[in-house]
Every structure is written in C-alpha cells, then in structure tokens.
Structure 1
C-alpha cells in the first residue's frame, strides 16, 4: 500500500547511497547475498529468542535488499538473473523469518503456531498470484513497469508493511501470534486484490 509513495521519496537518497557504495568489490548480487544471509540470521536468532539481535539483523537485511536494485541501476547493469536472485532471496527471507518467530514465540510464551501457518499460506497465495501475473503479462505485452524486474500488482500488504510487521514481531514477541493472526487477514485480503486485479488486467 505504501510502496509506491515510499519509492518516490526514497529514490533519490537510495541513488546517492548507491553512488557512494559503488566500489569494485560491492556488487548488486553481493548485496542480495548479504540481505539473504542477514535475513536467515534474523530467523535463527528469533527462534533462539534473541529478539533485539534478530531485529537488528532483520533491518540490516532489508537495507541491503533495498540497495541492490539502485546499485544495479546506477551501474546500468540490471539483469534478469539479478532480478530472479533478488525475488528468490526475498521469498526465502520472508518465509524463514515467519518460521523463526513462530518457533521463538512458541518456546518463550507457549503461543500457538497456527496463526503463522496462515501467514505462510497467505504469502504463498500472494507469491503465486504476482509471479503468475508477471510471467503472463510479459508474454502478452501487458507488463507494469515501475523499475523493478517483475510486474508487481499492488495490494493492501506490500514490502513496507511486511518490514514493519516483521519488526513488530521482534519488538513485541509476547503478542506475536496475535499480530500474526491480524497480518494473515491483511495479507489474505491483498491476495484477493491481486487475484482479481491480475485477472482483470489480463482480460
């Protein structure tokens, strides 16, 4: 929901940061890898109930993820391979952090894990919807170009909201399952929006 306005606000600052870190040994793929490793570290530390460490790793992971694209655009080296790696890494990080938080809150507070299963199901449906749309839109010439490698369908829950909610889990783990339950509904509504919107856009 907030991704488009945030991209407009952050485009110039991220471009400046990308120019600053444009060193021979810093590449977009290495930034993606850093985001992936940090994200997995956040999932593991959440499972161990090291909440603040997990939060720092999560935020650093998303910062690295937010810079790989601007650096590729700065160097004019955007590629399908880089876009594929980036979205795959995002899916791995999002899914693993849900699992890590579920394990952590269950062990620490005896919280139920089924709300987190609903979150994973909603993520799965959302991913299927926008990946299928992106593929078919490419074949039919109906792509939505916002500078990213894939055609993303907007929805109530997007990247910014995901970063916020995963941060809330780590800040307030004692309410983790309740947050997960509400979040699963929000992501489920987003999935419905993307299914309907994608069908209409391709009709």
Structure 2
C-alpha cells in the first residue's frame, strides 16, 4: 500500500547513496547478501532479547535491500546489466528468508522474555506463505503469458495493502515494543491475511 509512495520519496537519497557506492568491489548481489546477513543477525539478536540491537540491524538490512536494486538499475542504465536476472532472484529469496527469520527471532525472544504464545507468530508465517505463493505464481505466469506488470523490479509485483514498507515497519515495531509483540503479530497476521486474499482474487482476474 505504501511502497509506491516510499519509493518515490526515497528515490533521491537512494540514488545518491548508490552513486557513492558505485565502485568495482561493490555489486548489487553483495549488497543483497550483506542485507541478508544483517537480517539474520537481527533475528539472532531478537532471540537473545537484545531488542534495540535487533531493531538497528533490521533497519540497516532493509537499507542494504533498498540499495541493491538501486545500484543494479544504475548499472543497467550504464550498460552493465549482467547480474540483473540472477540478482533479482537472489533479492526475492533473501527477502523471504529475512522476513521468516525475523518472525522466528522475535517469537523466540518474546516468548522467553514475556511468556507470549507462539501461535500469533505462526499465523504471520502462514499468511506470509500464502502471500508468497500468490505473488510468485502470478509473477511466473504473467511473465510466461506476456502480462508482466513492469514497475522497474525484477518480478511482476502484485501490490496490495501489505507490501514491503508495511512489513519493514511492523518488524521494527515489535522489536521496539517486544512486550506487545503478540498483539502486533495478531493484528499483522489479519492485515497480511486480507492482503493474501486480495492477491489471490486480483491475480486470478488479471490472468483470466
């Protein structure tokens, strides 16, 4: 829901940062891997109940995740697009791992620290699973049938009310307010569940 607005707002700073990072030793794929490592470190810190550290690492990981695509587009514009397809695959795989690990890490830490039950976090993972299935299936079939939705990203992104921006905010929120993590997870699962239904319905209609 907020991705298009945030991408427009952050395009200038991200472009400037990508220009500063545009050096031979820095590639979009390496930024993707760095973002994934930071996200996994954030999940580990959450499991250890180092909440502020986990939040900082999470936000840094998402900055790296934003910079990899920006740097890739910059290099494609300069005629260097060798990593674009493989990089797009690596990026979406890293995102799914980062989101899943983030849920697991906060669930582990919040359960141990505050006695919060696991099931709200399991609901979040279930809705992530349904969203991911609808998103990837639509992108694959849309590509094969010539109905690709091109917004500059590697895959046809079927946007709904729960997108990347909302996910970043919620993951940061339950790291900053871990004693409310169960309630945040429950509300987020409902929100993502509605988004999953929307993606299934809209994806089906677009491909008919």
Which range, TM-score by smaller chain? over 0.9
**Structure 2: gaps spanning 5 or more residues:** none
Distance 2:92 2:186 in 1: 25
Question: Taking structure 1 as the reference length, what is the TM-score of the superposition?
Answer: 0.98
Matching residue of 1:130: 135
Task: Kindly state the Cα deviation for residue 12 of structure 1 after the two structures are TM-superposed.
Answer: 2.5
1:97-150 CA distance string (max 9 Å, x none)? 100000000000011010000000000000000100000000110010000000
Match of 1:152 among 157, 163, 168: 157
Matching residue of 2:26: 26
> Is 1:7 matched with 2:12?
no
Question: Taking structure 2 as the reference length, what is the TM-score of the superposition?
Answer: 0.96
Number of residue-to-residue matches in the alignment:
203
Task: Kindly state the Cα deviation for residue 31 of structure 1 after the two structures are TM-superposed.
Answer: 0.2
Q: CA-atom RMSD, angstroms?
A: 0.7
Distance 1:94 1:12 in 2: 26
Distance 1:12 1:135 in 2: 31
Distance 2:64 2:56 in 1: 12
Q: Structure 1: which 4+ aligned runs deviate by more than 6 Å? A: none
